[in-house]
């Protein structure tokens, strides 16, 4: 067995020529690990990478890379994929002939452990509250492996790790300073639970994820007003609930209409009501009942809060972007370069309540 630590640092330049895998030896066994990023990565809050990365099909990538790993002596191949269970199961079937004993992934935060005819598929949960595991036994004489056991377990009420506890204290102190950081100056009041405030949030979400068509937010999620004057990071974090993320879900135009008619106090960004229909901002076309649209919603809405049960019923496979619902709002406000002398007057753009 091996304990491996991985870290991601945005300050490290991306070397597009680097191998997407590693091969190493433990106890005389050559192990290969290959990583697959999420196919929709460029849709999620990564504008700086647009045009620099080319995303390949999962199965095609494995068929290209695994022979290279085996040429370097890899006897066991493990796949780490950033995607949800349904996609991992489909991938396992597509590459069944490659003899991959383990595909582990996480994106939808559904803790699970399962096995098809040839591969164990693990999915991570969320917030370190549980983990999935597998034990593989390797027979060096025959060059074969078998699955000894697999499953998932809770990860609660344990003793704090001293290093992580110290790291947490450090970041809590940093957070106290960060909350005071001024990101914008407003010239108008944006009241709590107002449509103007909801459209500000939706506008920031769509700016961060331009491949999406619409953003829908329940007014009940808008907890605090933004008064004129300084707006700090703390103001925005008080505005929206902690630990909520942005979910992208594909819905038809007719499903969007039903969601809006059933949900409590929806605020829509990306289209406008015109007469008895909706017209999209992107192209000026009316909402098409049969067309599929990418819709951004808060994670609590996807789970059915505020009367939005239909979202998950229409499409239970919404993609959790992993982006905190507050982060794009902070970034968008900061990018407006406002000042006390030139505050943001957003009411004309955000419209009437």
Confidence of residue 52 (pLDDT cuts 50, 70, 90): low
Confidence of residue 51 (pLDDT cuts 50, 70, 90): low
Give the mean pLDDT of 287-303: 95
334 vs 278: CA distance, rounded Å: 31
Q: Residues of the chain with pLDDT > 90: what percent? A: 69
Residue 7 scores a pLDDT above 50: no
Output the average pLDDT for the chain.
88
pLDDT, tens only, 167-187 = 999 999 999 999 999 999 999
Q: Which two tokens stand for residue 10?
A: 């945005």
226 vs 237: CA distance, rounded Å: 11
Confidence of residue 10 (pLDDT cuts 50, 70, 90): very low
340 vs 230: CA distance, rounded Å: 8
Is the entire prediction scored with pTM above 0.75?
no
Contacts with 99 (C-beta within 8 Å, 6 or more apart), sequence order: 77, 118
* Beta-carbon count within 10 A of 161 CB: 10
Lowest mean pLDDT of 45-59, 77-91, 164-178, 279-293, name the range. Answer: 45-59
337 vs 231: CA distance, rounded Å: 12
Distances from the Cα of 211 to the Cα of 247, 248, 264, 288, angstroms: 13, 10, 26, 18
Instruction: Return the pLDDT at 144.
Output: 83
* Beta-carbon count within 10 A of 55 CB: 13
Chain-centroid distance of CA 233 in Å reads 21
Instruction: Return the pLDDT at 42.
Output: 62
Residue 216 scores a pLDDT above 90: yes
Which residue in 187, 270, 191 sits closest to 225, CA to CA? 191
* Residue 179, phi then psi, degrees to nearest 5: -60, -30
Q: Which two tokens stand for residue 296?
A: 């951004």
Chain-centroid distance of CA 29 in Å reads 35
């Amino acid at each position: 067995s091996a304990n491996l630590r991985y870290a991601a640092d945005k300050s490290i330049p991306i070397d597009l020529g680097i191998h997407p895998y590693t091969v190493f030896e433990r106890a005389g066994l050559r192990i290969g690990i290959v990583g697959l990023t999420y196919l929709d990565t460029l849709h999620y809050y990564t504008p700086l990478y647009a045009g620099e990365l080319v995303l390949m099909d999962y199965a095609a990538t494995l068929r290209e890379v695994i022979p290279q790993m085996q040429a370097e002596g890899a006897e066991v191949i493990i796949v780490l994929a950033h995607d949800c269970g349904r996609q991992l199961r489909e991938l396992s079937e597509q590459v069944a002939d490659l003899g991959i004993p383990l595909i582990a992934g996480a994106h939808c935060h559904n803790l699970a452990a399962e096995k098809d005819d040839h591969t164990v598929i693990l999915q991570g949960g969320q917030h370190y509250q549980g983990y999935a595991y597998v034990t593989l036994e390797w027979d060096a004489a025959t060059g074969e492996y078998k699955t000894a056991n697999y499953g998932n377990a809770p990860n609660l009420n344990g003793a704090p790790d001293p290093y992580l506890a110290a790291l947490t204290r450090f970041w809590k102190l940093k957070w106290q300073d960060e909350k005071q950081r001024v990101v914008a100056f407003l010239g108008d009041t944006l009241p709590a639970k107002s449509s103007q405030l909801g459209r500000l949030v939706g506008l920031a979400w769509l700016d961060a994820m331009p491949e999406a068509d619409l953003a829908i937010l329940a007014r009940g999620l808008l907890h605090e007003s933004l008064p004129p004057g300084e707006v700090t990071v703390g103001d925005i974090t008080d505005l929206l609930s902690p630990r909520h993320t942005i979910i992208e879900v594909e819905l038809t135009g007719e499903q969007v209409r039903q969601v809006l008619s059933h949900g409590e106090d929806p605020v829509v960004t990306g289209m406008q009501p015109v007469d008895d229909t909706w017209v999209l901002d992107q192209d000026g076309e009316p909402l098409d009942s049969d067309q599929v649209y990418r819709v951004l919603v808060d994670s609590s809405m996807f789970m059915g809060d505020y009367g939005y049960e239909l979202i998950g019923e229409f499409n239970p496979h919404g993609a959790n972007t992993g982006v905190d619902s507050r982060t794009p709002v902070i970034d968008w406000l900061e990018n407006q370069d406002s000042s006390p002398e030139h505050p943001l007057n957003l009411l004309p753009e955000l419209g009437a309540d």
